């Protein structure tokens, strides 16, 4: 579900040049959480919100580069429990309604009336949940790697990806005793929420490597530490065990609330983490949306075809 960004990127010349935030801070919210946020681009530009994947992946400097800094005022933040937000890796007070409330709190804090909402993978889930809760605050949507958090999509993540990456799935299951492999989600969740680093650390690495292996058209694995992997793995398992804190089919059922707003859906044809059928279902429920099927891409946001399509979509929104 996330768009993980490794330290070593391919050439990103087709994105906008690197830019530094013109403002950043920490926003206290309920439950003892505090959110790291930043703004970049033009102070008087078209407001846009970037929602990262995961849940638990966090933001990265490369994500600023999807937006034309001469046109946009871009807001990015680390969701609860990840990145520079605190406390790190916690599941307490960490639900979809909590995150939707956080987005609205951040909008109010920054004095923004309405904004363009961009999100990928889990970020597309959160973008839809936020938009349906606050349609009057949204101008348009640019979404990537659609994930609607239906039971079938969670099951696909846990087992279906293994049909294409059997070696990765075998390694994913090998971390568990044979007696627990029939319910790998429950088994991983129990380990990932265990307070002992000797238990949750290896489980986090195994979970993250499985996902990373399946996220690109051509796999490229990193050697992330257990500490780095923990927020992503723990929070993903937490949200999956709880059905995304959404009713089954909720995001499609509530589409009438935002169907009048423009949207571009960017989807990799060979996305095995969030298969194209979800994007197709969302497009069918959103007649005014544009579905851009990238023919030579998997799931990751920075694959060449995906990133070019996202930049093009955001440029079109800025041009009006």
Known active-site residue 315: no
The verdict on 108 and 29 lying in the same domain is: yes
Q: In this predicted structure, what is the pLDDT of residue 6? A: 38
User: Does 74 share its domain with 178?
Assistant: no
Q: Is the pLDDT of residue 202 over 50?
A: yes
In this structure, the answer to whether residues 28 and 132 fall within a common structural domain is yes
Same domain assignment for residues 136 and 251: yes
Q: Annotated catalytic residue: which of 85, 121, 124, 278?
A: 121
In a domain, 207, yes or no: yes
Please state the rounded mean pLDDT for residues 125-138: 98
Give me the catalytic one of 33, 134, 213, 299. 299
CA distances 219 to 95, 164, 214, 298, Å, are 31, 12, 7, 10
Q: Is 289 a catalytic residue?
A: no
Q: How confident is the model at residue 224 (pLDDT cuts 50, 70, 90)?
A: confident
Domain stop point among 243, 268, 284 = 243
Q: How far apart are alpha carbons 309 and 143 in whole angstroms?
A: 11
CB neighbour class for 4 (10 Å; exposed up to 12, middle 13-18, buried from 19): buried
The pLDDT of residue 237 is above 50: yes
- Composition of the chain by helix, strand, coil, percent to 5: 45, 15, 40
* Least confident stretch, 93-97, 170-174, 218-222: 218-222
Assign residue 226 a region: left if phi > 0, alpha if psi is -120 to 50, beta otherwise? alpha
Catalytic residue, chosen from 271, 278, 283, 289, is: 271
Give DSSP secondary structure letters for 71-129: TEEEEEEPPTTSTTSBSTT--TT-SHHHHHHHHHHHHHHHT-S-EEEEEETHHHHHHHH
Give tens-digit pLDDT for 303-312: 999 999 999 9
299 catalytic residue (yes or no): yes
How wide is the angle at C-alpha 8 spanned by C-alphas 169 and 191, nearest 5°? Answer: 35
- Tell me which residue range forms the domain holding 27: 23-151+245-319
Same domain, 135 and 174: no
Q: Is residue 46 domain-shared with residue 146, that is, in the same domain?
A: yes
Q: Quote the CA–CA distance of 213 and 273 in Å, as a whole number.
A: 10
| pLDDT tier, 12 (very low <50, low <70, confident <90, very high otherwise) | confident
């Amino acid at each position: 579900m996330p768009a993980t960004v490794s330290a070593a990127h391919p050439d990103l010349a087709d994105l906008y040049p690197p830019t530094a935030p013109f403002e950043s801070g920490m926003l206290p919210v309920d439950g003892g959480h505090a959110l790291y946020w930043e703004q970049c681009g033009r102070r008087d530009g078209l407001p846009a919100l970037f929602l990262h994947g995961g849940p638990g992946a966090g933001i990265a400097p490369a994500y600023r580069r999807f937006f034309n800094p001469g046109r946009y005022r871009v807001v990015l933040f680390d969701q609860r429990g990840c990145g520079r937000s605190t406390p790190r890796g916690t599941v307490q007070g960490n639900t979809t309604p909590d995150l939707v409330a956080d987005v609205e709190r951040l909008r109010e804090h920054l004095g923004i009336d309405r904004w363009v909402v961009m999100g990928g993978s889990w970020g597309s889930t959160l973008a839809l949940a936020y938009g349906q809760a606050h349609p009057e605050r949204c101008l348009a949507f640019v979404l990537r790697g659609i994930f609607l958090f239906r039971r079938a999509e969670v099951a696909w993540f846990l087992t279906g990806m293994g049909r294409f990456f059997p070696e990765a799935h075998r390694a994913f299951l090998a971390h568990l005793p044979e007696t627990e492999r029939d319910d790998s989600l429950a088994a991983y969740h129990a380990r990932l929420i265990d307070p002992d680093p000797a238990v949750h650390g290896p489980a986090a690495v195994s979970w993250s490597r499985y996902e990373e292996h399946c996220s690109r058209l051509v796999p490229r694995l990193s050697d992330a530490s257990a500490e780095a992997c923990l927020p992503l793995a723990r929070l993903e398992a937490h949200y999956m065990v709880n059905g995304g804190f959404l009713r089954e089919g909720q995001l499609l059922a509530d589409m009438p609330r935002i169907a009048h707003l423009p949207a571009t859906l960017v989807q990799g044809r060979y996305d095995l983490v969030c298969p194209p059928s979800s994007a197709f279902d969302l497009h069918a429920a959103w007649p005014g949306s544009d579905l851009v099927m990238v023919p030579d891409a998997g799931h990751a946001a920075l694959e060449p075809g995906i990133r070019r399509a996202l930049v093009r979509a955001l440029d079109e929104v800025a041009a009006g």
